[in-house]
Amino acid sequence: MNTIELENLRKPDGTPFFFEYDRKKVVEPDEFQFAAVQFEHGHIYGQISHFKSTGAKLKWIFDKRPDVLKTLAEKYPDAKVARSIEEILDDPQVKLVTAADVPCDRAALGIACMKAGKDYYTDKTPFTTLEQLAEVKRVVAETGRKYGVNYSERLGSEVAFVAGDMIEQGAIGKVVSIIGVGPHRMGAPSTRPAWFFKKAKCGGILIDIGSHQCEQFLHYAGAKDATVNYARVDNFHYPQFPEFEDFGEASLTSDNGVSFYYRVDWFTPDGLSNWGDGRTLIVGTDGYIELRKFVDVATGLGGNQMYYVNKVGEYHVNAQHTVGTPFFSKFVLDCINRTECAMTQERAFKAAELCMKCQQAADARR
């Protein structure tokens, strides 16, 4: 295997790539304080960890369920336990609220936060209907606040940032095709909350875990929009949950001509060493990049692995513990400076819109 250190990787003409590294601590605790609310999905813990790594202070925690809130108070002893969401929204020191509410309730929570003068950062998927998106767009325009989205399959992956930097610098020429797969492990259904199996609550598989894929597509394609060509969903294995979808796939074409296919499912076998073998294959006119973001099957290397082929040769890069995840420090600075360096609001909304349109197309087939 032609494994190469990231700093030794070169373009086909021999010049080095430039990689953006995570700046980590960018604020002092009293400079940027945030709250974490509604712990319905485990992604919220990663959201908290990422924001704390920037230097920001977790001031408040809240969940509507008293038993969950008691556990959270033990986990985050330095944070204050709110009696209600209103107590947090009334605190002028809180600049950002991060949350992982039930998917269908994420928009309403975000609207309340923004109307209270707070920026908002929600777990994916940010919406379950296009009507929610339209209303949130209106409130963003009215308040000037941010509605950030935790598209964690890219934003939480080092190798995903490495690939983005390389593609922007012409590593594979013009991007023409992208394939994304996002399998997930179900585990015991009894460990899942009731809303997980309700279509109106989670939106469907192409909206829920499919939202990751649509964001990655727009990013690597350098696109602003796309057309849905085909979409399909099914329930192959869980007849006891008739509203649940355990498989979904869709095909899109971007406004700049890039082809995209993605597949998401709940069929990660128990023998895999992690929750899902998420991969992205990006093909360009001068080469291709494959990302094995979370596991490199049977090699023992773990995730954050990249395979890169160009006109000169073929390369393997272990991107673990290299560039970090620059998004979160940039997002905090965006909240302070009112800039859009981490991700534009347009991109966050468009990824959500596309996955909902995919879901609509799939639902129309059933």
8 Å CB contact between 189 and 215: no
CB atoms within 10 A of CB 354: 27
Percentage of residues in the chain having pLDDT higher than 70 = 100
Is residue 170 packed enough to be buried (19+ CB in 10 Å), middle (13-18) or exposed (0-12)? middle
Confidence of residue 1 (pLDDT cuts 50, 70, 90): low
**Residue 171: which of 296, 15, 355, 291 has the closest Cα?**
15
Task: Give the predicted TM-score (pTM) of the model.
Answer: 0.97
Which architecture characterizes domain 6-17+154-328+354-365 according to CATH?
A: 2-Layer Sandwich (3.30)
- Say if residue 23's pLDDT is above 90: no
Which tens digit of pLDDT belongs to each residue from 108-151? 999 999 999 999 999 999 999 999 999 999 999 999 999 999 99
Across residues 36-58, what is the average pLDDT?
97
Cα separation of 114 and 116, whole Å?
5
Contact, 150 vs 42, CB < 8 A? Answer: no
* Alpha carbons 9 and 287: distance in angstroms, whole number: 15
Q: Rounded to whole angstroms, how far apart are CA atoms 322 and 353? A: 32
| The pair of three-digit structure tokens given for residue 105, joined into one six-digit string | 């309730």
With beta carbons less than 8 A apart as the criterion, state whether 314 and 2 touch.
Answer: yes
Looking at residue 111, what is its pLDDT? 98
Residue type, 96: L
User: Read out DSSP for 84-103?
Assistant: SHHHHHT-TTEEEEEEE--G
- What pLDDT, in 10s, does the model give residues 200-228? 999 999 999 999 999 999 999 999 999 99
Burial of 247 (0-12, 13-18, 19+ CB in 10 A): middle
Report the pLDDT value the prediction gives residue 366, as an integer from 0 to 100: 79
Alpha-carbon span 366 to 361, nearest angstrom = 9
Q: State both tokens at 36.
A: 């974490």
Q: How many Å apart are CA 115 and CA 277, to the nearest integer?
A: 39
Give pLDDT, residue 202. 97
Mean pLDDT, the chain, rounded, equals 97
> What pLDDT was estimated at residue 265?
98
> Are 99 and 122 a contacting pair, CB within 8 Å?
yes
Q: What is the pLDDT of residue 141?
A: 98
Same fold, 6-17+154-328+354-365 and 33-150: no
Alpha-carbon torsion (259, 265, 269, 273), positive or negative: positive
Q: How far apart (Å, rounded) are the C-alpha atoms in residues 1 and 316?
A: 7
User: Would the pLDDT of 181 be above 90?
Assistant: yes
Measure CA 60 to chain center: 23
- The average pLDDT across 34-41 equals 98
For the stretch 320-360, pLDDT in tens is 999 999 999 999 999 999 999 999 999 999 999 999 999 99
Q: Where are the domains of the chain?
A: 6-17+154-328+354-365, 33-150
231 pLDDT higher than 70: yes
Residue 181 identity (one-letter amino acid) = V
What is the average per-residue pLDDT within 276-296? 98
- Structure-block tokens of residue 321: 């513990």
Does the pLDDT at position 17 exceed 80? yes
CA 165 to chain centre: 18
- Beta strand 247-254 with 259-265 is antiparallel
Residue 311 pLDDT > 80:
yes
Q: How sure is the predictor about 255, in pLDDT bands with cuts at 50, 70 and 90?
A: very high
pLDDT band at 24 (very low <50, low <70, confident <90, very high): confident
Q: Residues 128, 104: contact at Cβ < 8 Å? A: yes
Q: Are 177 and 259 in contact (CB under 8 A)?
A: yes
CATH 3.40.50.300 assigned to domain 33-150? The reply is no
Query: pLDDT > 90: what percent of the chain?
Result: 98
331, 50 contact by CB (below 8 A): no
- Once rounded to an integer, what is the mean pLDDT over residues 16-25? 94
Say whether pLDDT at 49 is over 90.
yes
pLDDT given for residue 338 in this prediction: 98
pLDDT above 90 for 309: yes
